[in-house]
Protein backbone atom coordinates (compact mmCIF):
# COMPACT_ATOMS: atom_id res chain seq x y z
CA UNK A 1 0.00 0.00 0.00
CA UNK A 2 1.32 3.41 -0.95
CA UNK A 3 0.95 6.42 1.35
CA UNK A 4 2.24 9.98 1.29
CA UNK A 5 3.92 11.69 4.25
CA UNK A 6 3.32 15.42 3.85
CA UNK A 7 4.43 18.64 5.51
CA UNK A 8 4.15 22.33 4.69
CA UNK A 9 5.73 25.58 5.81
CA UNK A 10 3.75 28.81 5.61
CA UNK A 11 3.92 32.58 5.98
CA UNK A 12 1.92 32.39 9.22
CA UNK A 13 -0.62 30.45 11.22
CA UNK A 14 -4.07 31.02 9.77
CA UNK A 15 -5.50 31.19 6.26
CA UNK A 16 -8.13 33.52 7.72
CA UNK A 17 -5.36 36.08 8.03
CA UNK A 18 -4.37 35.58 4.41
CA UNK A 19 -1.35 33.38 5.08
CA UNK A 20 -0.02 31.16 2.29
CA UNK A 21 2.25 28.14 1.78
CA UNK A 22 5.97 28.70 1.14
CA UNK A 23 7.13 25.05 1.02
CA UNK A 24 5.60 21.63 0.38
CA UNK A 25 7.40 18.36 1.05
CA UNK A 26 6.12 14.85 0.36
CA UNK A 27 7.69 11.40 0.74
CA UNK A 28 6.08 8.28 -0.65
CA UNK A 29 5.87 5.14 1.50
CA UNK A 30 5.36 1.73 -0.10
CA UNK A 31 4.28 -0.73 2.60
CA UNK A 32 5.88 1.61 5.15
CA UNK A 33 9.22 1.73 3.31
CA UNK A 34 10.24 5.20 2.00
CA UNK A 35 10.77 5.19 -1.76
CA UNK A 36 12.84 7.55 -3.89
CA UNK A 37 9.60 9.12 -5.11
CA UNK A 38 9.40 12.59 -3.54
CA UNK A 39 7.71 15.89 -4.20
CA UNK A 40 9.31 19.11 -2.99
CA UNK A 41 9.07 22.77 -3.90
CA UNK A 42 9.46 26.25 -2.48
CA UNK A 43 6.66 28.66 -3.36
CA UNK A 44 6.24 32.36 -3.85
CA UNK A 45 3.37 33.14 -1.43
CA UNK A 46 2.65 36.50 -3.05
CA UNK A 47 2.76 38.15 0.36
CA UNK A 48 5.26 38.82 3.14
CA UNK A 49 6.43 36.15 5.56
CA UNK A 50 5.52 36.96 9.18
CA UNK A 51 8.35 37.48 11.66
CA UNK A 52 7.19 34.49 13.69
CA UNK A 53 7.18 32.18 10.66
CA UNK A 54 10.60 33.43 9.57
CA UNK A 55 12.00 32.35 12.93
CA UNK A 56 10.50 28.89 12.43
CA UNK A 57 11.66 28.04 8.90
CA UNK A 58 14.06 30.83 7.90
CA UNK A 59 12.64 31.45 4.39
CA UNK A 60 12.88 35.16 3.66
CA UNK A 61 10.77 37.22 1.27
CA UNK A 62 13.85 37.66 -0.93
CA UNK A 63 14.51 33.91 -1.08
CA UNK A 64 10.90 33.15 -2.04
CA UNK A 65 10.43 36.00 -4.51
CA UNK A 66 11.63 34.07 -7.58
CA UNK A 67 9.96 30.75 -6.73
CA UNK A 68 6.97 29.30 -8.55
CA UNK A 69 3.44 30.12 -7.46
CA UNK A 70 1.20 27.32 -6.19
CA UNK A 71 -0.98 27.51 -9.29
CA UNK A 72 2.08 26.58 -11.38
CA UNK A 73 2.74 23.35 -9.47
CA UNK A 74 -0.84 22.44 -8.50
CA UNK A 75 -1.36 19.77 -11.18
CA UNK A 76 1.94 18.03 -10.39
CA UNK A 77 1.12 18.07 -6.68
CA UNK A 78 -2.37 16.67 -7.23
CA UNK A 79 -0.97 13.92 -9.46
CA UNK A 80 1.61 12.97 -6.81
CA UNK A 81 -0.91 12.52 -3.97
CA UNK A 82 -3.78 11.11 -6.06
CA UNK A 83 -5.51 8.01 -4.66
CA UNK A 84 -3.14 7.75 -1.69
CA UNK A 85 -3.63 8.18 2.03
CA UNK A 86 -1.86 11.30 3.31
CA UNK A 87 -0.02 11.20 6.64
CA UNK A 88 0.31 14.54 8.42
CA UNK A 89 1.19 15.65 11.94
CA UNK A 90 -1.47 18.15 12.99
CA UNK A 91 -3.43 17.73 9.77
CA UNK A 92 -5.90 20.52 10.51
CA UNK A 93 -3.16 23.11 10.01
CA UNK A 94 -1.63 21.71 6.81
CA UNK A 95 -4.90 20.75 5.14
CA UNK A 96 -6.46 24.15 5.81
CA UNK A 97 -3.53 25.77 3.98
CA UNK A 98 -3.42 23.21 1.16
CA UNK A 99 -7.16 23.44 0.55
CA UNK A 100 -6.93 27.23 0.58
CA UNK A 101 -4.25 27.05 -2.13
CA UNK A 102 -6.27 24.51 -4.13
CA UNK A 103 -9.34 26.74 -3.93
CA UNK A 104 -7.38 29.79 -5.10
CA UNK A 105 -6.05 27.70 -8.00
CA UNK A 106 -9.56 26.52 -8.89
CA UNK A 107 -8.86 22.90 -7.93
CA UNK A 108 -10.82 20.34 -5.92
CA UNK A 109 -10.12 20.27 -2.19
CA UNK A 110 -8.67 17.31 -0.29
CA UNK A 111 -11.25 15.42 1.80
CA UNK A 112 -10.65 14.32 5.37
CA UNK A 113 -11.31 10.69 4.42
CA UNK A 114 -7.86 10.60 2.80
CA UNK A 115 -6.04 11.95 5.87
CA UNK A 116 -4.21 10.12 8.66
CA UNK A 117 -3.36 12.54 11.47
CA UNK A 118 -0.44 11.29 13.57
CA UNK A 119 -1.22 13.95 16.18
CA UNK A 120 -4.58 12.25 16.87
CA UNK A 121 -2.92 8.83 17.00
CA UNK A 122 -0.32 10.09 19.46
CA UNK A 123 -2.94 11.88 21.59
CA UNK A 124 -4.94 8.67 21.96
CA UNK A 125 -1.90 6.49 22.51
CA UNK A 126 -0.05 8.72 24.99
CA UNK A 127 -2.67 10.76 26.87
CA UNK A 128 -1.18 13.40 29.11
CA UNK A 129 2.21 13.32 27.36
CA UNK A 130 3.86 15.76 24.98
CA UNK A 131 3.09 14.81 21.40
CA UNK A 132 4.94 17.35 19.25
CA UNK A 133 7.08 15.88 16.47
CA UNK A 134 10.22 16.58 18.49
CA UNK A 135 8.72 14.95 21.59
CA UNK A 136 7.75 11.84 19.63
CA UNK A 137 11.21 11.62 18.10
CA UNK A 138 12.63 11.69 21.62
CA UNK A 139 10.17 9.02 22.79
CA UNK A 140 11.05 6.68 19.92
CA UNK A 141 14.77 7.55 20.03
CA UNK A 142 14.72 8.95 16.48
CA UNK A 143 17.64 11.23 15.66
CA UNK A 144 16.28 14.72 14.88
CA UNK A 145 19.58 16.57 15.16
CA UNK A 146 19.24 17.83 11.56
CA UNK A 147 16.06 19.70 12.49
CA UNK A 148 17.66 23.03 13.33
CA UNK A 149 14.81 24.77 11.46
CA UNK A 150 11.41 23.47 10.40
CA UNK A 151 11.83 22.32 6.80
CA UNK A 152 9.23 20.26 5.00
CA UNK A 153 11.37 17.37 3.74
CA UNK A 154 13.30 16.85 6.97
CA UNK A 155 10.03 16.91 8.89
CA UNK A 156 8.61 14.32 6.46
CA UNK A 157 11.60 12.04 6.99
CA UNK A 158 11.17 12.25 10.76
CA UNK A 159 7.40 11.83 10.59
CA UNK A 160 7.69 8.69 8.45
CA UNK A 161 9.73 7.06 11.24
CA UNK A 162 7.39 8.34 13.95
CA UNK A 163 4.36 7.03 12.03
CA UNK A 164 5.78 3.51 11.80
CA UNK A 165 6.31 3.46 15.56
CA UNK A 166 2.91 4.98 16.33
CA UNK A 167 0.99 2.29 14.49
CA UNK A 168 2.99 -0.45 16.23
CA UNK A 169 4.71 -1.62 13.12
CA UNK A 170 8.28 -2.78 12.87
CA UNK A 171 10.64 -0.26 11.37
CA UNK A 172 12.20 -1.53 8.12
CA UNK A 173 15.94 -1.83 7.77
CA UNK A 174 18.08 -3.33 5.04
CA UNK A 175 20.34 -6.28 5.80
CA UNK A 176 23.01 -6.87 3.15
CA UNK A 177 24.02 -10.52 2.87
CA UNK A 178 26.81 -12.36 1.07
CA UNK A 179 29.77 -9.99 0.82
CA UNK A 180 31.03 -11.72 -2.32
CA UNK A 181 27.99 -10.59 -4.23
CA UNK A 182 28.72 -7.01 -3.18
CA UNK A 183 32.13 -7.20 -4.76
CA UNK A 184 30.62 -8.64 -7.92
CA UNK A 185 28.02 -5.86 -8.01
CA UNK A 186 25.36 -8.53 -7.83
CA UNK A 187 23.64 -7.17 -4.76
CA UNK A 188 21.09 -9.24 -2.93
CA UNK A 189 19.13 -7.61 -0.15
CA UNK A 190 16.61 -8.82 2.34
CA UNK A 191 14.36 -6.49 4.25
CA UNK A 192 14.30 -7.33 7.93
CA UNK A 193 12.43 -5.57 10.67
CA UNK A 194 13.00 -4.51 14.22
CA UNK A 195 10.79 -2.82 16.76
CA UNK A 196 11.95 -0.50 19.49
CA UNK A 197 10.60 -1.19 22.98
CA UNK A 198 9.98 2.11 24.75
CA UNK A 199 9.67 2.19 28.53
CA UNK A 200 7.63 5.15 29.83
CA UNK A 201 9.27 7.56 32.20
CA UNK A 202 8.04 8.11 35.77
CA UNK A 203 6.56 11.45 34.71
CA UNK A 204 4.72 9.86 31.77
CA UNK A 205 3.25 7.15 34.03
CA UNK A 206 2.14 9.86 36.48
CA UNK A 207 0.52 11.89 33.66
CA UNK A 208 -1.21 8.79 32.31
CA UNK A 209 -2.67 7.93 35.72
CA UNK A 210 -3.88 11.52 36.10
CA UNK A 211 -5.56 11.30 32.71
CA UNK A 212 -7.30 8.04 33.64
CA UNK A 213 -8.49 9.49 36.95
CA UNK A 214 -10.14 12.41 35.19
CA UNK A 215 -11.63 10.42 32.33
CA UNK A 216 -12.74 7.05 33.75
CA UNK A 217 -15.89 6.64 35.79
CA UNK A 218 -14.20 4.17 38.15
CA UNK A 219 -10.99 5.13 39.89
CA UNK A 220 -8.52 2.28 39.96
CA UNK A 221 -5.64 4.39 41.22
CA UNK A 222 -6.84 5.54 44.63
What does the alpha-carbon distance between residue 30 and residue 143 come to, in Å, rounded to a whole number? 22
User: Which sequence spans correspond to the domains of the chain?
Assistant: 2-169
Return per-residue pLDDT of the chain as tens, 222 residues.
Answer: 999 999 999 999 999 999 999 999 999 999 999 999 999 999 999 999 999 999 999 999 999 999 999 999 999 999 999 999 999 999 999 999 999 999 999 999 999 999 999 999 999 999 999 999 999 999 999 999 988 788 999 999 999 999 999 997 655 554 444 444 444 444 444 444 445 556 667 777 777 677 666 665 444 443
The CATH number of domain 2-169 is 3.30.420.10: yes
| 80 touches 74 (CB < 8 A) | no
What does the alpha-carbon distance between residue 19 and residue 25 come to, in Å, rounded to a whole number? 18
Distance of CA 217 to CAs 212, 213, 214, 221, Å?
Answer: 9, 8, 8, 12
What pLDDT, in 10s, does the model give residues 11-46?
999 999 999 999 999 999 999 999 999 999 999 999
Residue 2's contacts (CB-CB under 8 Å, 6 or more residues apart) are: 28, 29, 30, 84
User: 125: which strand partners?
Assistant: none
- CB atoms < 10 A from the CB of 102, how many? 19
* pTM > 0.85: no
What pLDDT, in 10s, does the model give residues 128-153?
999 999 999 999 999 999 887 889 99
- CB atoms < 10 A from the CB of 26, how many? 23
Cite the active site residues: 150
Amino acid sequence: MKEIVLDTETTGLSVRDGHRIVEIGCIELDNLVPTSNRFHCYLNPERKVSEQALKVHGYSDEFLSNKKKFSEIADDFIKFIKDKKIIIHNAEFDISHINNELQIAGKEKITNSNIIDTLDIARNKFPGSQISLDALCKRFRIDNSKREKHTALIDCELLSKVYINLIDQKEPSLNFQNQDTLNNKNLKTNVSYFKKVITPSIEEVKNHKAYLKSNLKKNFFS
